[in-house]
């Protein structure tokens, strides 16, 4: 006898640029599941989801919670996850849709899946096209060329992190850098000066960096503004702005390891077979 609860959860991503970046399998979940619960900022994407879903709940109004005294974004995200779980517990097949990738900077999906699984419900995530995918395509950057580091701006500021100046460094959510209240959706020059000073411990203030914003609909232009690091505190930023810092130094060969690999290659090289 199967005692597994009847509710089911799948978290999908809509991509950054409306339905054109939606995978076929994610689209099938949106169309076929009992209810779609979405947290997407683009009004056109919300309208499209509403039209094709059997039932639709928008989570965007939950962001108003952070305006209440004593509540932060953590409380908002918790209520969003609880809203999703309420429908799962009601026995519905729930498709939770998030813009971009549902698992990247989307703690709601991780919380909802963990909660659902802990209660015995079937729950999983389908990958989506993220801001990083768009960044790589729009800027023509190959993370494999010299490696890549990726950190959230405030996390980088308040923790002791080691930067590799020979790799690409992607700093997410620079537009809310330094917010410890978890209530704001912007930042100030004073906060940006602090992160600039910390970055200047590794990079020259004249190092060229990129302010990147992915286009979210066909009529919007991708932003890829190049500025000097020293000008970051005075830059115009949005919540979605990403700071991209190209490598500042060339890769240095580890001659000791290279010699070991070369020696190993000679030892293990296959012998020529005489025929």
Whether 118 is covered by a domain: the verdict is yes
Residue 269 has pLDDT above 70, yes or no: no
DSSP for the chain, written as a single string? -----S-EEEEEE-BSSGGGG--HHHHHHHHHSSEEEEE---HHHHHHHHHHSSSEEE-GGGGGGGGSTT--HHHHHHHHHHHHHHHHHTT-EEEEEESB-TTSS-HHHHHHHHHHHHTT-EEEE-----HHHHHHHHHT--HHHH-EEEEEHHHHHHS-----TTSEEEEETGGGTT--SS--S---HHHHHHHHHHHTTTS-TT-EEEEEE---STTSPPEEEEEEGGGGGGS---TT-EEEE---S-----HHHHHHHHHHHHHHSPPPPP-
Which residue has better confidence, 69 or 162?
162
Kindly indicate the confidence band of residue 74, based on its pLDDT and cuts at 50, 70 and 90: confident
CATH number at residue 33: 3.40.1010.10
The last residue of one of the domains, among 78, 104, 129, is: 129
Whether 273 is covered by a domain: the verdict is no
Q: Which of 77, 93, 203, 212 is catalytic?
A: 77
Percent of the chain's residues with pLDDT above 90:
73
Q: Let me know if 99 is a catalytic residue.
A: yes
- In terms of domains, do 166 and 230 share one? yes
CATH number at residue 228: 3.30.950.10
Q: Let me know if 223 is a catalytic residue.
A: no
Mean pLDDT over residues 152-164, rounded? Answer: 96
- In terms of domains, do 28 and 42 share one? yes
- In terms of domains, do 226 and 194 share one? yes
Whether 269 is covered by a domain: the verdict is no
Whether 97 is covered by a domain: the verdict is yes
Count how many domains the chain has. 2
Q: Which of 29, 46, 93, 99 is catalytic?
A: 99
- In terms of domains, do 164 and 98 share one? no
Whether 255 is covered by a domain: the verdict is no
Kindly indicate the confidence band of residue 186, based on its pLDDT and cuts at 50, 70 and 90: confident
- In terms of domains, do 23 and 116 share one? yes
Q: Let me know if 212 is a catalytic residue.
A: no
**Predicted TM-score (pTM) above 0.75:** yes
- In terms of domains, do 155 and 44 share one? no
Q: Which of 17, 29, 46, 73 is catalytic?
A: 73
The last residue of one of the domains, among 105, 129, 153, is: 129
Mean pLDDT over residues 195-219, rounded? Answer: 94
Whether 51 is covered by a domain: the verdict is yes
Where in the sequence is the domain holding 27, given as residue range(s)?
Answer: 8-129
Kindly indicate the confidence band of residue 273, based on its pLDDT and cuts at 50, 70 and 90: very low
């Amino acid at each position: 006898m199967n005692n597994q609860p009847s509710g089911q959860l799948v978290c999908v991503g809509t991509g950054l640029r409306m339905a054109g970046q939606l995978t076929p399998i994610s689209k099938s979940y949106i169309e076929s599941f009992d209810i779609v619960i979405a947290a997407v900022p683009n009004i056109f994407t919300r309208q499209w989801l509403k039209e094709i879903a059997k039932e639709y709940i928008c989570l965007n109004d939950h962001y108003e919670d952070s305006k209440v005294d004593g509540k932060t974004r953590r409380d908002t995200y918790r209520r969003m996850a609880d809203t999703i779980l309420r429908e799962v517990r009601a026995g519905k097949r729930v498709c939770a849709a998030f813009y971009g990738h549902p698992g990247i900077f989307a703690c709601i999906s991780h919380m909802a899946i963990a909660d659902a699984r802990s209660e015995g419900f079937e729950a999983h995530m389908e990958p989506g096209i993220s801001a990083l995918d768009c960044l790589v395509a729009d800027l023509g950057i190959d993370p494999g060329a010299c490696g890549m580091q990726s950190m959230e701006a405030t996390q980088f500021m308040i923790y002791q992190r080691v930067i590799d100046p020979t790799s690409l460094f992607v700093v997410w959510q620079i537009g809310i850098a330094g917010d410890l209240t978890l209530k704001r959706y912007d930042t100030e020059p004073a906060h940006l000066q602090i992160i600039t000073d910390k970055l200047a411990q590794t990079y020259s203030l004249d190092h060229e960096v990129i302010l990147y914003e992915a286009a979210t609909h066909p009529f919007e232009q991708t932003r890829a503004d190049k500025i000097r690091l020293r000008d970051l505190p005075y830059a115009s930023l949005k919540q979605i702005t990403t700071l991209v810092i190209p490598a500042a130094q060339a890769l240095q060969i580890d001659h000791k390891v290279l010699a070991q690999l070369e020696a190993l290659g000679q030892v293990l090289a296959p012998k020529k077979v005489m025929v």
